[in-house]
Structures are given as structure tokens and as C-alpha cells.
């Protein structure tokens, strides 16, 4: 499980979450959500799967 520090609430850890926009793939959505929720740019490793 990936946890990132929240860019909106100091000292809070969050699991990045959100939806995939109609014009993007899973990888783009993952990078966008981490940037939105943690305020950081990341890189992707191996795809493990999805959960709901």
C-alpha cells in the first residue's frame, strides 16, 4: 500500500485515490493523483493491479 504525505493537511498520510479521466490511461491517472494529493512528481514501477 502506497502512502503519501498530504499536501493539504500537514502531518497526515493518505492513500492516493481518484478516478481515471476519459482521456487518460491508468499510468497518467496515477501520476496525476499523486501530484494532486501529495504535491510531488513521481515515477512508476511495475503495475500491480487495481482495487475498488
Catalytic residue annotation: 36
CB 38 within 8 A of CB 6: yes
Rounded CA separation 28/34 (Å):
10
Amino acid at each position: 500500500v502506497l502512502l503519501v504525505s498530504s499536501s493539504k493537511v500537514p502531518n497526515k498520510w493518505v492513500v492516493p485515490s481518484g478516478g481515471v479521466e476519459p482521456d487518460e490511461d491508468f499510468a497518467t491517472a496515477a501520476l496525476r493523483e499523486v501530484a494532486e494529493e501529495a504535491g510531488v512528481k513521481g515515477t512508476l514501477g511495475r503495475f500491480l493491479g487495481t482495487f475498488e
